[in-house]
Chains A and B, each alone.
Chain A
Amino acid sequence: MKRMTIKVLLVVLAMALGAFALMGCGQDSNVIKIGFNLELTGDIPKVGEASKFAAEMLKEDINSKGGLEVGGKKYKLEFVYQDNEAKADSAVNAALKLITQDSVVAIVGPNSSKQAIPAGGVCNDNQTPMVSPWSTNPDTTKDRPWVFRAAFLDPFQGPVAANFAAKQFGAKTAAVLFDIANDYSKGLAEIFKTEWEKKAGAGTVVAFESHGTKDQDFSAQLTKIVAAKPDFIFVPDNYNQVALIIKQAHDLGYKGPFMGSDAWGSAELMTLCGKDCIGQFFSTHYAAAGAQGATKEFIDRYNTKYKYVPDDVAALTWDATRLVLQAIQEAGKVEKDIKAERKLVRDALANIKEFAGITGTMKFHGTGDPDKCAVVVQISPEGKFEFKESVCPQ
């Protein structure tokens, strides 16, 4: 009996292995496949979801117009989504699966650097163009001709926040609260610190406190910060934590202003944070409120389709995907051989010097990293992110 069950189990196992080895699907000549390597589960499911929604929207747009026109021929788009569970190893497998099994032309994502760095390595080794919408860690694209990104880097955003805060609040001292387990948050916090102390002198960052990714109680850190009496608090943190941080700071009697980073820029911020966030500032890729043209159109359509204002990840995915599509078009033709096609796309991507995205105009200088303007927005009493000023790299 027992032996029987085991035999059965073994057979099942063998079949699973077989089925798994035979996976992967045939080619269709007039379809262009683009892969998405997204954090649909794990720590930051919201990010993956937003990316996927944006991509779906773009696909429907183009396919409804009969497909993407390349060299006078229309190709249907097929987007393949792989969940990387917000894990590094899973992201590598997802990337390899997209490259080898699904044989996609290019890959969009992963978003968070923890996944994007290893996945970028794989894409570069396997000569497949990859565009990360959201990753801000320099290593993602460093020495990797096949890897690009749509977001600006921390070294640019840090100073923006510092300069603006100095000007806006007339601040002399600053406090920083960041997420030690989140490389984005930590990196930005450190850059801000060095930048601020360069401006206002050593020791002017009166408190430099951290917390863990899944923490929800920041009272201890905030007590220290409040006791240090900073002129403002810089919080380069994800919007969900921001909401809690600001609430708890107010509970502890802190009245001063906050300065945030692009990770604030989520529609959820206001539903989570409510009145506590009103009047705060943060630097981001684009201002949803008061946006014009393509940006506004995107926001409105996304809003009607998915019932919430898109956050920066959605917008950046939209841009990243369009960047890839434009490259495919500029390549002028579609090679049958997938490897040759990838080469074409990669060269086209590298040739794009300037790209007008909904998150602002991007200028590329062959590093794969865009120069783009950051905007600082203020949260209006209606909970809109209102354009305050735009800072462009000199």
Chain B
Amino acid sequence: MPLLEAKGLTRRFGGLIAVNDFNIELGEREMVALIGPNGAGKTTVFNLVSGFYQPSEGAITINGRDTRGMRPHQVTSLGVARTFQGIRLWGEMTVLDNIRVSQHYRAGYSLLDCFLRTKKYMIREKEIERVAWELLEAMELKEYALELPRNLSYGLQRRVEIARAMSLKPSLLLLDEPAAGLNSADVEGLIKLVRWIHDTFPVTIWMIEHQMKVVMSLCTRIKVVDFGATIADGTPEEIQNNPAVIKAYLGDDTI
């Protein structure tokens, strides 16, 4: 059974069709890219998968669970984590707290536990704390644990956002243009990071990315969309020599 399965996914905004009959199947530990010109509807696909939008038509199943009608936090608790095109960290909370709060659904104790500081509460909180520190440690963010995100560099903020997503222990990680606005050095770091994540954790990574460098060096499979419709699907090599793609896409990109 595929991890993620999207069938005939369609989303309309009024007259505009943002996503049109989009299909995809993602298996365990895949690393797939979704590319396409600006406004092709890539982010909309992610929004549909992460439950932020409801599909106009079609269905999404994650681990065999139909996510239609679920609210985003429910979808997330099925093991879908994502980052955002524009960074959306909680600016007034320390990096550590950012990573603690994102484990909210795993808190798993009641309000009463929280008031009475029951054993259960203590165990859970310790667990959350531990996971947070481990992640920070692993992702070389430890020394920033008590900083406010808005005081960090852009690259670091990206890193924190990915860490926050990973703290959800996802089986599917959606990265929405992780390399956007990074300098070449940071991009190198990012590539390393993503690969490391993919090697260390049992997670499928699906990314939207414009920088072919990143896509080509990471992904085993690429899906190309334009005007909401899929125009190509295959290995990097196939995509690179796919006339449709070249026509629609490579024209306005820099490799």
Does chain A touch chain B in the assembled complex, meaning CB atoms less than 8 Å apart? no
B residues lining the A interface (CB < 8 Å): none
The chain A residues found within 8 Å of chain B, CB to CB, are: none
